[in-house]
Chain A
Amino acid sequence: DTGVSQDPRHKITKRGQNVTFRCDPISEHNRLYWYRQTLGQGPEFLTYFQNEAQLEKSRLLSDRFSAERPKGSFSTLEIQRTEQGDSAMYLCASSLGGANVLTFGAGSRLTVL
């Protein structure tokens, strides 16, 4: 069990560029979540996968954001045409069916200049 891995840990980009984050969940976990955290706030739900199916998306999730989980293993979160307001920590978590006990990765910090 190597935990939840996220890559890259830090990303600095210019406004208007596209960025992609990767998450590798705990191998036996079938559920995967993306959250966003801004300074001084708690994490905010973005989207949720069960195996390869994206079952829920936050109403706050802009159409510039897209997430995939091909083959129900790793997941990617892409942000197109980044804006300064996208600057945040993007957190991935995974869980095993039954109780929704989340294990988080270390996060990917995005800075949009």
Chain B
Amino acid sequence: GIQVEQSPPDLILQEGANSTLRCNFSDSVNNLQWFHQNPWGQLINLFYIPSGTKQNGRLSATTVATERYSLLYISSSQTTDSGVYFCAVPDLSSGSARQLTFGSGTQLTVLP
């Protein structure tokens, strides 16, 4: 099946700093989603981004499907950005576009 690797595994920032999270995947995909899991466990969908760049406030994401990676950029970080960030892609090689394979996440801690 498809392999999804996220880096860095852990990141500690001072409030106001910027950061870039990376997601590499091993096979062709037709969509990619970024999620934020808050400290209470709730997963929030941030972006659906099969290719190109999208922005939503202080967050933006870029997927370069031909090179099999995606980046999530967080600017002017706030303490509420803390949590785990996951990327997820479909495992097309398994014959399913519905089964998302998640990376192991980046644990972000933003200090006040």
Q: Indicate whether A31 reaches chain B with its CB closer than 8 angstroms.
A: yes
Verify if A65 is at the interface (C-beta below 8 Å from B). no
Interface flag for B41 (CB, 8 Å) = yes
A45 and B41 in contact, given A100-B31, A101-B33 (Cβ under 8 angstroms): no
Tally of A-B Cβ pairs under 8 angstroms: 56
- B43's contact among A41, A43, A58, A99, by CB below 8 Å, is which? A43
> B53 within 8 Å of A by Cβ?
no
Tell me the bound Cα distance from A55 to B96 in angstroms.
10
Assembly CA distance A99 to B50 (angstroms): 10
A-binding residues in B (CB < 8 A)? 4, 31, 33, 35, 40-45, 48, 86, 88, 90, 96-105
Map CB proximity to B onto A27-50 as digits: 1 under 8 Å, 0 otherwise.
000010100000011111100100
Contact status A41-B104, CB under 8 Å: yes
**Nearest CB of B to A26, in Å:** 12
Asked whether A51 is an interface residue with its Cβ less than 8 Å from the other chain, the reply is no
Q: Which residues of A contact B86 (CB under 8 A)?
A: 42-43
Give Cα A104–Cα B48 distance, bound, in whole angstroms: 14
- The size of the chain A interface, using a CB distance under 8 A, is 24
16 A-B contacts, Cβ less than 8 Å apart?
A31-B98, A41-B104, A43-B88, A45-B99, A45-B100, A56-B96, A89-B41, A100-B31, A100-B100, A102-B45, A104-B42, A104-B45, A106-B40, A106-B41, A107-B41, A107-B42
**A103 beta carbon closer than 8 Å to chain B:** yes
Expressed in whole angstroms, the Cα–Cα distance for A100 and B40 within the complex equals: 24
> Which residue of B is nearest A44, CB measured?
B102
The answer on a CB contact under 8 Å between A42 and B105 is yes
CA A43 to CA B102, docked complex, whole Å = 6
Chain B hits for A106, CB < 8 A: 40-42
